[in-house]
Amino acid sequence: MPQPAASFEDVLAAAERIFPHVHRTPVATSSTLRSEVDADVFFKCENLQKVGAFKARGALNAVLSLSAEDADRGVVTHSSGNHGAALAYAAAIRRIPCTVVMPDNAPQVKIEAVRGYGATIEFCTQLGREEATAEVIARTGATMVHPFNNAAVIAGQGTAALELIDDVGNLDIVITPVGGGGLMSGTAITTRNLLPDARIIGAEPAEVDDAYRSLQTGEIQPRVVSPDTLADGLLTALGDLTFATLQWAGIEIQLVDEPEIVAAALFHIHRMKLVVEPSGAVGLAAIRKLGEAVAGKRVGVIISGGNTDLSWLPG
């Protein structure tokens, strides 16, 4: 029987540990959306979090949990941007070295954010992350803080749902984006403990449907190579810890298409005045795709991030 990567007690401990260093982000609603979908929808605005994404939570919990000996050797990760910036931020708080391995096609805004927090960047090809990270570890002895397949990271990510449920109370449905599954796993652990009957849904771009295929087949499926998607933060496949947690929680996956993602991101900007990256807009896209299934329900959605150069905007 699959087991969760972390306990609810781990999430509670993470909330206390990271409290001084994160924002308790606001929850936003939209009367226009309520009329459209006939549901009360509550958006947890992690686009307004430190480093512009929920990733600050997991990175901080992992870094602040390190022993003094491990911390002194520094930390390393591979990331398209948000986790890299988050780890750099966490390392700066603890005043330890940080190296981020980034694909050479990462958005410039995310590269600048990682540099801005003082990390060293090592560039690699999209498929060369593991090898480049291993080289850094061999050279420096740094501790690897995986973007999602790490129990401390997962526990930290679960604190976003903890705050959401504390702020708005009972929810019938909870939706988060799913890429590697760290946010989805943390959300699942928190939600299953606080709202055991809630439906938990991962929103995933149809162009990178590996989480959907993994849960359908019961085996982790490889990531899609060279996908045509604007959701650059959701390109990674599930890890063994996140896959087991999603199986344990009975997660469903709702696939969304690229035009639906763009329409959702534009709604966030035009109607809610929120800058949301395409990866963070998949939750709203999923609500619209679910249609009648959300009618009359209370729905919580975690907006994962807002780090974007807006290059995806229609011309």
CA angle centred on 156, ends 151 and 157, rounded to 5°: 100
Burial of 104 per CB tally in 10 Å (0-12, 13-18, 19+): exposed
Give the separation between CA 208 and CA 70, rounded to whole angstroms.
35
| Catalytic status, residue 304 | no
Active-site pick, 30, 44, 50, 55:
55
Q: Which pair of structure tokens corresponds to residue 169?
A: 């109370």
Q: What is the secondary structure of 69-95 as a DSSP string? A: HHHHT-EEEE-SSHHHHHHHHHHHHHT
| Catalytic status, residue 44 | no
Active-site pick, 30, 65, 79, 80:
80
Residue 254: its H or E element: strand 252-256
Q: Which pair of structure tokens corresponds to residue 4?
A: 């969760």
Q: Which pair of structure tokens corresponds to residue 271?
A: 């109607």
Kindly list the catalytic residues: 55, 80
